Structure 1
Amino acid sequence: MHVLLFGATGMVGQGVLRECLLDDRVTAVRAVVRSPLGVSHPKLSETVHADFTDFGGLEREFAEVDACFFCLGVSSAGKGEDEYRRITHDYTLAAARALAAAAGPDLTFVYVSGEGTDSTEQGRQMWARVKGRTENELLAMDFHAYMFRPAFIRAVNGEVSRTPAYRRLYPVLDLLFPLLRRLAPGRVTSTESIARAMIAVAGRQGAGEHVLRSPEINRVAAEGR
């Protein structure tokens, strides 16, 4: 399986990259980045690209892809709706449209969304509406689309969030993880489980549920090993 990865420097993306490099089902990983990752591995190649609203010129790279794992995203904190929509929706759909044209309907596209996403696009929370619109448009496209909606994500292999507030919060939550797992098991997953579930659904060729929350992510990750 040839994987295209967006968001490889984020917390989830770091975990996904690690598992892809370890998993024998993944034969090649191409990371689309703004600056080099500084990681060397026989399976890993990079495409340095500046404009995430236009992927013209990357048709050859995209045509080789079997699955795209789209982990790029930002917190809505401190951002207006236009800025958040540009990063969350516009970047995602630009990549998805370019991939659909180059790779065709056999492509699997896995999008990291979030618990609480508003599929109606009518709710009061801006981020949830934007995520909902993004999900709805991806699910309507001519490829195999899967929406991952994790709630609390535990970084288990040293992954680090790029968001300062999350970096301060996660060490505290990590200490509370055993309690969270007991009290709210349906809201807890890990970077490792998300990555393993992505690889598993990429082998389904469109089968199974297409919106996965933390319990489904954990189940598919466990079944897929």
Structure 2
Amino acid sequence: MNVLLFGATGMVGQSVLRECLLDPQVKTVLTIGRNATGQSHPKLRELVHANLQDLSAIAGDLSGYDACFFCLGVSSAGMSEEKYKAITYDITLSVAETLVKLNPGMTFTYVSGAGTDSSEKGRSMWARVKGKTENDLLKLPFKAAYMFRPGGILPLHGVKSKTKLYQAVYIIMKPFYPVLEKWFPNSITTSEKVGRAMIKVALDGYAKPTIESSDLNHF
């Protein structure tokens, strides 16, 4: 399987990249983002591209891929709905619409979040925007598309949050990871399990297009 990965420097993207590089069923990984990961691996190739809403300049590099793991995202804290939508919805759909033309046999996997509002009518701004993003991705003619909705993710194997406050909390809570996993199996998972689940779904498919936090610990 040849993989495109967006958002490889974020916590989820780091997790997915790690598992892809370890998995013998993944032949190549091309990461695309505003910044390079700083990693070096025989499977890995990186493209630094500033304008993710316009991939025309690099379109020639985006064909021949079996799966896309779209892990790019931002927190909605302090953002207007217009600005959050421009990043969360507009960029995602622009990328997906480009890729589906170049790779119609591709499986597209989008990292959403627990609590996403598929009705697009709820009170939570971020949940409505994520819901619309999911709904419109599922309308595109990919071979398959899956929406991942993780809740709490415990970072393992050196994976770090780009948000300093979150990373500090993870460091403090690390001794309690086994307890948290045991007590909250339907809402907490690990970075490794998220990465492994995304690869599994891309290779073998899944019974439903929306994969909730409670599903992630059963792959």
Question: Which runs of 5 or more structure 1 residues have no equivalent in the other structure?
Answer: 221-225
**Is 192-201 or 29-38 further displaced after alignment?**
29-38
Q: Indicate how the Cα distance of structure 1 residues 98 and 15 shifts in structure 2: closer, same or farther if over 3 A, else same.
A: same
Question: Which runs of 5 or more structure 2 residues have no equivalent in the other structure?
Answer: none
Partner of 1:29: 29
Partner of 2:166: 166
Partner of 2:132: 133
3-state SS, counterpart of residue 29 of structure 1: strand
> Which AA in structure 1 matches 2:126?
W
**Is 6-15 or 174-183 further displaced after alignment?**
174-183
Distance in 2, Cα, partners of 1:38 & 1:156: 18
- 2:108 is the counterpart of 1:109: yes
| TM-superposed deviation, 1:207 | 4.5
1:1-80 matches, within 5 Å, as 1-80=1-80
> Which AA in structure 1 matches 2:211?
L
- Work out whether residues 75 and 163 of structure 1, in 8 Å CA contact, stay in contact via their aligned partners in 2: no
1:89-108 matches, within 5 Å, as 89-104=89-104, 106-108=105-107
Partner of 2:154: 154
3-state SS, counterpart of residue 203 of structure 1: helix
**Is 179-188 or 9-18 further displaced after alignment?**
179-188
Could you list the per-position Cα deviations for residues 13-68 of structure 1 after superposition, in whole angstroms to 9, with x for gaps in the alignment?
11111110110000000000213222111100011111011111333222111100
Q: Percent identity?
A: 50
**Is 109-118 or 28-37 further displaced after alignment?**
28-37
Q: State the TM-score, normalizing by the size of structure 1.
A: 0.92
Partner of 2:212: 213
Distance in 2, Cα, partners of 1:15 & 1:40: 15
Q: State the TM-score, normalizing by the size of structure 2.
A: 0.94
Could you list the per-position Cα deviations for residues 118-161 of structure 1 after superposition, in whole angstroms to 9, with x for gaps in the alignment?
00000111110010000001111101100000101010111111
Distance in 2, Cα, partners of 1:48 & 1:182: 39
Q: Indicate how the Cα distance of structure 1 residues 179 and 207 shifts in structure 2: closer, same or farther if over 3 A, else same.
A: closer
Q: Indicate how the Cα distance of structure 1 residues 33 and 176 shifts in structure 2: closer, same or farther if over 3 A, else same.
A: same
**Is 26-35 or 206-215 further displaced after alignment?**
206-215
| TM-superposed deviation, 1:178 | 3.2
Q: How many residues align?
A: 218
> Which AA in structure 2 matches 1:36?
A
3-state SS, counterpart of residue 63 of structure 1: coil
Could you list the per-position Cα deviations for residues 174-214 of structure 1 after superposition, in whole angstroms to 9, with x for gaps in the alignment?
3443333233210011111111111111112x552211112
Distance in 2, Cα, partners of 1:181 & 1:160: 18
